[in-house]
Amino acid sequence: MIEPQSISEKLSTSNKPRITEITDEELMQAVCMGGRSAYQNLVKRHINSISHFAYRILKNQKDTEDITQEVFLRLWTNAQKWKPEKSKLTTWLHRIAHNLCIDYLRKHGRMQIQDSFDDEAINSPQKNEKSIDEKNSEMKLLNEAISSLPENQRSALSLCHYQGFSNKEAAAIMSISVKALESAIARARRSLREKLTTAAS
């Protein structure tokens, strides 16, 4: 067990050079003891990843903000439920986010889709010579195609392609087998190819 004082000392000097990076596990131990500074550090560390994931599932900024806020509220109130020997904190947080997104979609039965600009795809070498309008048009088609995928395919694709999880980690987040995850990704990619080919013809 990490001593509370050692965590406090690390947090108070976290902006100084050469300080050892505080691990998620250390921060979560502090959160379990009511450490608000540790909580704020965890929010800063993980909020972008969680909000990006939620947005790719929900495709709406307002809903994304609500879900992201709920994820970190649960981190604060349920910190003791995280088992570091079973999963990384980011995996645990994404599982919470995934479940909240699925609950939301099932309750509301809809997505309010907004256009988004995917920097990762836009900055790929093969597209650098294309105009901004062409890139935006292509990304709009891609986003529409992804949004039309069934939820499980959209989640699987987002977790593995955008969030960088391994198949095993993504399967754990979605509470499905690795085989089912791989099947969902394969179907998603096949569907996207067909939709984009049709749109381009």
Same domain, 73 and 26: yes
Between 124 and 148, residue with greater pLDDT: 148
Side-chain half-sphere exposure of 8, counting CA atoms within 13 A: 6
Q: Report yes or no on 36 lying in a domain.
A: yes
Q: Which domain does 53 fall in, by range?
A: 21-114
Query: What is the end-to-end Cα distance of the chain in Å, rounded?
Result: 61
pTM of the model: 0.74
Q: Who's near 20: CB < 8 A, 6+ residues apart?
A: 10
- Mean local confidence (pLDDT), 138-155: 85
Largest distance between two CA atoms of the chain: 64
- Mean local confidence (pLDDT), 53-78: 94
Same domain, 104 and 159: no
Q: What pLDDT is attached to residue 108?
A: 78
Q: Report yes or no on 123 lying in a domain.
A: no
Q: Report yes or no on 9 lying in a domain.
A: no
Same domain, 82 and 34: yes
- Mean local confidence (pLDDT), 123-127: 43
162, pLDDT greater than 70: yes
Q: Report yes or no on 15 lying in a domain.
A: no
Q: Which of 11-15, 121-125, 192-196 has the lowest mean pLDDT?
A: 121-125
Q: Report yes or no on 80 lying in a domain.
A: yes
In this structure, what are the phi and psi dihedrals at residue 109, rounded to the nearest 5 degrees? 60, 30
Same domain, 47 and 97: yes
Indicate the pLDDT class of residue 12, thresholds 50, 70 and 90: low
